[in-house]
Amino acid sequence: MFNRKIINDLQRWKEEEGRKPLIVRGARQVGKTTLIHEFGSAFDNYLYANLENPETRRLFEIEMPLNDRIKLLFAQSGKPRRDGDTLLFIDEIQNSPQAVAMLRYFYEERPDLFVVAAGSLLENVVDVNTSFPVGRVQYLPVRPCSFAEFVGALGQESLLEVMYDKDASRVLHNRLISLFGQYIVVGGMPEVVQRYADTQDLLAVNDIYETLLQAYRDDVEKYVRNNRLSDTVRFILEHGWLMAGKTITLTGFAGSNYRSKDVAEAFRLLQKAMLLELVYPTTHTDAPIMTELRRQPKLIWLDTGLVNYAAGIRGDLIRAHDVMDIWRGRVAEHVVAQELLTLNNRISQRRAFWTRGKGGGSAEVDFVWQMDGKVIPIEVKAGADSHLRSLHSFIDNSNVDIAVRVWWGEYREDDLTTITGGKRFRLFSLPFYMVGNMEKIIMKEA
């Protein structure tokens, strides 16, 4: 297993005072179980309870004192109990509402135990289980691998030391941007990344993509009991990949005959499963970012590599000189959206884009990101001569004097003046591989 940044987050949780049971959230196959197994190997005692196993599930559903339950878990594991710390990992916890409710008792009665729970469909239990331990648990998201993790998996750790250095990166720019091009094609699903790192063969990962896509379709029966809604979810999982990065309408989504109400509910279910996000616009330029849910959203899936495979465009990407040439730049925007989520570990983090309000003419900035109390506009553009009129419009209507362009070129800073308002601002042009360190770069240089 290659290094994942989230191990550091888990270690910080372990060392916290007043630590609560931790719920690790993420879509199927983003590496939750593997990560916790690796984390658990550092404990004196590690108990793994998979609640897809009926016998294990029964241990959480029979009435007994909590301390007796712990003894039974040790007995079932067949491991002797050693002196020292104990980590209990309850996997697929959504299979037992009783186990979910029990998390509060671990917090109240056995704060000495380290308890982690995971389940890709846990949110459906939250909705129906009134005993969910609100306020007595913590959350940590697990998402597909970032570009930095991809580089490490390929054995290029030495590049990580210079990748975010504006001077050193210029020397190695062609090598770094070539690696990012590979990342766009492969994506960040951990098993896919590991297979590609082992083989350097794009065809060798096809069976993993197929298995992942089929697993998501098979999960529909777990999301939904209503036939009409299950049909809508299946349609999105079959055809929605082609709409990635695009502003969508819910009524008649992707040429279907489904009603807006059914499509909206299906998207809510898939969003709770962390398979996708509907990214909504804001018309505001100041913090906090307030999105407008009545406007049309962009569809962003969990992983660009999955999108490329499901949409059948990997060949175009491999042949492209600039990723902006593919799908009118939608793939480029999609991978930037994916990298933006690596900037923090907040489970509540949502992405947004900006559109000008009514009466001001059309203008749209690809993304906005709240940082240090300000809203920073981010455009994903092709080259040095690309028009940035929408970004200029945002600056004119905001209290910020910083903007970001993400592109295929080298790191660059420019002091510019807006076209219409004459407002001075600094434009940071970041190569794609620097997006994962955007906040630190801007705070250091601004």
CB 229 within 8 A of CB 266: yes
The sheet carrying 114-118 orders its strands as 45-50, 86-91, 114-118, 22-25, 138-141
What SS3 class is residue 46? strand
Average pLDDT, the chain: 91
* Nearest alpha carbon to residue 343 among 444, 442, 437, 445: 437
* Average pLDDT score over residue span 401-413: 95
The type of residue at 56 is T
In the beta sheet, which residues pair with residue 44?
none
Q: Between β-strands 402-407 and 412-417, what pairing exists: parallel, antiparallel or unpaired?
A: unpaired
pLDDT at position 409 is 92
For residue 383, count other CB atoms closer than 10 A to its CB.
12
Per-residue pLDDT tens over the stretch 340-362: 999 998 998 999 999 987 766 68
Confidence category of residue 381, pLDDT binned at 50, 70, 90: confident
- What angle, rounded to 10 degrees, do the helices at 330-340 and 173-186 form? 90
Per-residue pLDDT tens over the stretch 20-46: 999 999 998 999 999 999 999 999 999
* Average pLDDT score over residue span 249-268: 94
Q: Specify the DSSP class assigned to residue 367.
A: E
Q: Specify the DSSP class assigned to residue 112.
A: T
In the beta sheet, which residues pair with residue 48?
89
Residue 260 corresponds to which tokens in the numbers above? Answer: 């807006």
Cα distance between residue 28 and residue 119, in whole Å: 8
Asked whether residue 221 carries a pLDDT value surpassing 50, the answer given is: yes
pLDDT at position 361 is 65
Q: What residues have CB less than 8 Å from 137, skipping those under 6 apart? A: 20, 21, 22, 23, 103, 104, 107, 117
Give long-range contacts, CB 8 A cutoff, 24+ apart: 387-392: 388/427, 389/363, 389/419, 390/354, 390/356, 390/363, 390/364, 390/365, 391/365, 391/427, 392/418, 392/419, 392/420, 392/421
Asked whether residue 223 carries a pLDDT value surpassing 70, the answer given is: no
* Nearest alpha carbon to residue 75 among 99, 55, 93: 55
- What angle, rounded to 10 degrees, do the helices at 173-186 and 190-199 form? 120
At 323, give phi and psi (nearest 5°). -60, -20
Asked whether residue 324 carries a pLDDT value surpassing 90, the answer given is: no
- What angle, rounded to 10 degrees, do the helices at 304-311 and 206-218 form? 90
From residue 219, alpha-carbon distances to 123, 234, 304 in Å are 14, 10, 21
pLDDT at position 328 is 72
pLDDT at position 9 is 96
From residue 252, alpha-carbon distances to 118, 228, 262 in Å are 35, 15, 10
Q: Specify the DSSP class assigned to residue 371.
A: E
**b/e map of 127-151 (b: 16 or more CB within 10 Å)?**
eebeebbeeebbebbbbbbbbbbbb
Cα-to-chain-centroid distance, residue 264? 21
Which domains can be identified in the chain, with CATH numbers?
6-141 (3.40.50.300), 204-445 (no CATH)
pLDDT at position 130 is 46
pLDDT at position 385 is 52
Confidence category of residue 246, pLDDT binned at 50, 70, 90: very high
* Average pLDDT score over residue span 60-69: 93
Per-residue pLDDT tens over the stretch 178-207: 999 999 999 999 999 999 999 999 999 999
Asked whether residue 322 carries a pLDDT value surpassing 80, the answer given is: no
CB 94 within 8 A of CB 122: yes
Asked whether residue 382 carries a pLDDT value surpassing 70, the answer given is: no
Asked whether residue 286 carries a pLDDT value surpassing 90, the answer given is: yes
Cα distance between residue 296 and residue 247, in whole Å: 6
The type of residue at 436 is G
Cα distance between residue 249 and residue 254, in whole Å: 8
Per-residue pLDDT tens over the stretch 101-154: 899 999 999 999 999 999 876 555 445 544 678 788 999 999 999 999 999 999
* Average pLDDT score over residue span 48-68: 94
Task: Look at the pTM and tell me if it is higher than 0.85.
Answer: yes
Residue 367 corresponds to which tokens in the numbers above? Answer: 């993304």
